[in-house]
């Protein structure tokens, strides 16, 4: 029997218990007849009507000091006390599996090193793509490649909102209310719509891809709160859809990492990724582009990824995932990177400032896409005309 403890019995934590129960026989076959057993559940609440209600404790030391518990599953969310609990478990020689992108993004380097020193695992497949396998494929299946870029729709809530705006001509506020009514968005949706959730996830992927710690505090982050129906309509006229992306790319100057809305051409498969679905494209120098697609969130999809990590550890498959702490910030100034921009302006003189660009008429003036140039230079040029909106182009 393989004893585990689940920290936090909310949506994901209860989903982990459900997957272990429902797939008990098939999991046992994968583990050579051994059974996964939820010995403890750490939560402030009691669950008297749940079949595992007798496993609930509020005493974390009981878990850490129990030699029968070989694995801790952290599904609490937030940085604290999840970070402290994770560190204590690793130092006690227990493996840890997590779905907590905030802890991985902010403390992953330290926790991975502690895991290495104590000869245990710290795995976090569910922290980025929910049910989409991405950490394991990047670390194992694409190991022969030098990763050149990672780009992804990493937040189902914002993708749902943008889909409603694009397909049903809804305003941002209208689409947000529907997302909240369906449970896709929290009452306070800031972490989603302001891009922070996506930023944490692309930092994890960038750290993994390029081998140096990428911290969210060093990454430029924009959300979708300023996207309007006028932007959506003008982008469509030019052959593009708007998506919130996390993007990390290796350049000669360093690593370009950003979270922001992007225009994505209709010929790009990512333009057709709608509703709460996520998609991540990884470009390797040998394999080229590969895309991972599926539900990026939800109780059972996320729990599926958590349990996959549990099974890997229970099989005694050592997963020495690591990246190093850089002495200097590996992320370049985003304004130094060359990009194309979609611009809307009421001023016809923009045609003189951007000769050769294709313009389309809009209700409020003109929309066009610039040539590739450093973002700082673009800002200088645009200082001479009124700008209704500007959005990066993938």
What pairs with residue 243 in β-bridges? 262
Distances (CA, A) of 133 to 77, 147, 354: 20, 17, 42
DSSP 8-class letter at 331 = B
Residue 201 is among the residues annotated as catalytic for this protein:
yes
- As a whole number of angstroms, the distance between CA 216 and CA 257 comes to 10
DSSP 8-class letter at 146 = P
For 266-284, the DSSP string reads TTSGGGG--TTEEEEEEEE
Is the peptide bond prior to 131 cis by the omega test (within 30 degrees of 0)? no
Angle (CA) 342-347-353 rounded to 5° is: 65
Q: Which residues contact 174 (CB under 8 A, 6 or more apart)?
A: 164
What pairs with residue 282 in β-bridges? 150, 290
**Which residue in 94, 101, 201, 319 is the catalytic one?**
201
- As a whole number of angstroms, the distance between CA 193 and CA 190 comes to 5
296 and 154 Cβ atoms separated by less than 8 Å: yes
User: Any alpha helices (H) in the chain, and if so which ranges?
Assistant: 11-22, 24-30, 60-64, 82-91, 101-117, 126-129, 135-136, 156-168, 172-181, 190-193, 196-210, 229-237, 299-314, 350-353, 375-382
Catalytically active residues are: 201
């Amino acid at each position: 029997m393989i004893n585990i403890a689940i920290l936090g019995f909310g949506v994901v934590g209860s989903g982990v218990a459900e997957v272990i129960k429902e797939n008990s026989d098939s999991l046992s076959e994968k583990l050579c007849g051994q059974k996964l057993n939820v010995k403890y559940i750490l939560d402030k609440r009691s669950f008297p009507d749940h079949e595992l209600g007798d496993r609930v404790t509020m005493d974390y030391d009981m878990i850490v000091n129990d030699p029968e518990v070989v694995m801790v599953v952290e599904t609490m969310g937030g940085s604290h006390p999840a970070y402290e609990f994770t560190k204590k478990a690793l130092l006690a020689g227990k493996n840890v599996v997590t779905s907590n992108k905030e802890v991985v993004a902010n403390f992953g380097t330290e926790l991975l090193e502690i895991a290495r020193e104590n000869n245990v695992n710290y795995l976090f497949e569910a922290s980025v793509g929910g049910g989409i396998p991405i950490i394991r494929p990047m670390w194992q299946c694409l190991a022969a490649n030098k990763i050149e870029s990672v780009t992804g729709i990493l937040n189902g809530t914002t993708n749902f909102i943008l889909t409603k705006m694009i397909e049903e001509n809804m305003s941002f506020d209208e689409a947000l209310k529907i997302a909240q009514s369906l449970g896709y968005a929290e009452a306070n949706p800031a972490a989603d719509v302001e891009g922070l959730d996506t930023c944490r996830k692309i930092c994890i992927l960038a750290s993994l891809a390029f081998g140096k710690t990428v911290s969210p505090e060093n990454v430029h982050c924009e959300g979708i709160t300023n996207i309007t129906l006028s932007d959506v309509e003008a982008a469509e006229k030019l052959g593009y859809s708007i998506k919130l992306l996390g993007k990390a790319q290796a350049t000669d100057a360093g690593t370009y990492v950003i979270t922001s809305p992007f225009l994505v051409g209709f010929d790009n498969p990512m333009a057709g990724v709608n509703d709460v679905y996520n998609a991540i494209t990884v470009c390797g120098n040998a394999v080229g582009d590969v895309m991972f697609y599926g539900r990026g969130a939800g109780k059972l999809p996320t729990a599926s990824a958590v349990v996959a990590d549990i099974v890997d550890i229970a099989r005694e498959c050592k997963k020495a995932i690591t990246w190093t702490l850089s002495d200097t910030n590996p992320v370049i100034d985003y304004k130094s990177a060359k990009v194309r921009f979609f611009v809307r302006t009421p001023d016809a003189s923009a045609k003189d400032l951007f000769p050769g660009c294709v313009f389309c008429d809009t209700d409020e003036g003109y929309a066009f896409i610039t040539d590739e140039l450093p973002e700082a230079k673009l800002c200088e040029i645009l200082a001479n005309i009124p700008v209704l909106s500007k959005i990066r182009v993938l």
